[in-house]
Amino acid sequence: MTQQLDLFADLAADNTPVPSTFTTAPEPPAQRAPAPTPAGAAPQAARRTGLPHLPADPHGRALEIGEAVAARWHNLHGGSDIQVPIGVVAALCLIREKDPQGPDLRAQILTQDGSQLVAMIREIWSTQWIYRPDLIERARILHEWLNDDVDHRRETAVRAVAETALKRGLFDLTAHEDPYLRSATDVLSLVMTSLRSSGARKGLGEYHTPAPVAEAMSEVVNHGILAEVQLAVQDLKQRQHIHDPCAGSGGLLRAAAQSIRERGGDPADFRWSMVDIDPIAAACAAVNAMVWSLGPHVTVACADALATPNAVEEAMEQARAVFAHRDEVLGRARIFAALHQAQSLMDSALADAA
């Protein structure tokens, strides 16, 4: 039986954020991993003395994670479905560890078995859809496999990928509350390129810009952009637009956002757009836009930038349609939740009167 993403959890609450338009969408809240529910008594949660510091070489750590994830996936599962392990890592990248003194989320996640972990990953994607349906729709290729039954073999491989990424230090790079720290590198780019063969990358014309090169380029480009930041008006139509027509997973824009932060600016004060012909790369760029907190004014298009010069405008139209669909779905869900609550109150009143 096909399982659908649960988009209707907790919709009876009045405080569910519902952005009304594409241009005013807020950033999604930090995703918290659910408490583990293994068979039998749950172990005492490990506690931290503080969040880990950023590794001395974040790009090197990300490469280690990518290579280890690729090796584990190909040993246990293999095949061309690399969107599955990338989707697992992408979901984990959306988790934040807000309380340094709280339970160790890595330890919590690692207590879960394969089916529990798959359920957690479904919940992460579903929650993010409520807040940024445009970016989650662009990342569809990374999570649509969750709409089908996940057999035991795949569950085992999914858990192995999550375990490998976490034990290699994924949260040291992505779980920080500070967006500057979690934007220190592009984990998904290195996971994606490690999972793909050299031949597959050449066939796609895919050559990802090394992070140090991206950072050096952003310094040159942003020097001119940032000199004009004080002249920018807060109205979106006059906001500075930063665009990459061959974005890959967004590495150049990550470096630009870091440069903006280092100069006291906020990436959310800019418009960002990315185009890439590869669906998986575009999906990673959409997830990275959330991980790096680029703000609400982000557009990601999957197209050939040369053949489709209006790719960004078309992607914005699609995003508006996705937001409208989300609003319609959540509106219906709220009605159903309210009716269910009213029916429960009526049943309770009748029971008391009997």
C-beta atoms surrounding 202 within 10 Å: 11
Please answer whether residues 276 and 243 qualify as being in contact, where contact means their C-beta atoms are separated by less than 8 angstroms.
Answer: no
Q: What angle do CA 154, 287, 104 make, to 5 degrees?
A: 70
What's the confidence (pLDDT) of residue 31? 55
The helix/strand/coil state of 4 is coil
Name 243's bridge partners: 273
300-343 pLDDT, tens digit per residue, is 999 999 999 999 999 999 999 999 999 998 888 778 777 777 77
What's the confidence (pLDDT) of residue 52? 53
Measured between alpha carbons, how far is 252 from 215 in angstroms, rounded to an integer?
7
What's the confidence (pLDDT) of residue 123? 95
What's the confidence (pLDDT) of residue 212? 56
In sequence order, the 6+-apart residues with CB closer than 8 A to the CB of 287 are 90, 93, 94, 135, 139, 142, 188
Measured between alpha carbons, how far is 232 from 223 in angstroms, rounded to an integer?
15
What's the confidence (pLDDT) of residue 105? 86
What's the confidence (pLDDT) of residue 53? 74
Nearest to 279 by CA among 183, 177, 144, 123: 144
What's the confidence (pLDDT) of residue 313? 96
Laid out side by side, the sheet with 298-302 consists of 241-244, 271-276, 298-302
Per-residue pLDDT in tens (0 to 9) along the chain, 354 residues = 333 333 333 443 434 333 333 333 445 555 554 443 433 333 343 444 444 578 999 999 999 999 999 999 999 987 889 999 999 999 999 999 877 677 888 999 999 999 999 999 999 999 999 999 999 999 999 999 999 999 999 999 999 999 999 999 999 999 999 999 999 999 999 999 999 864 444 444 555 555 555 444 444 444 444 434 333 334 434 468 999 999 999 999 999 999 999 988 899 999 999 999 999 999 999 999 999 999 999 999 999 999 999 999 999 999 999 999 999 988 887 787 777 777 777 767 677 766
Strands (E), the chain: 241-244, 271-276, 298-302
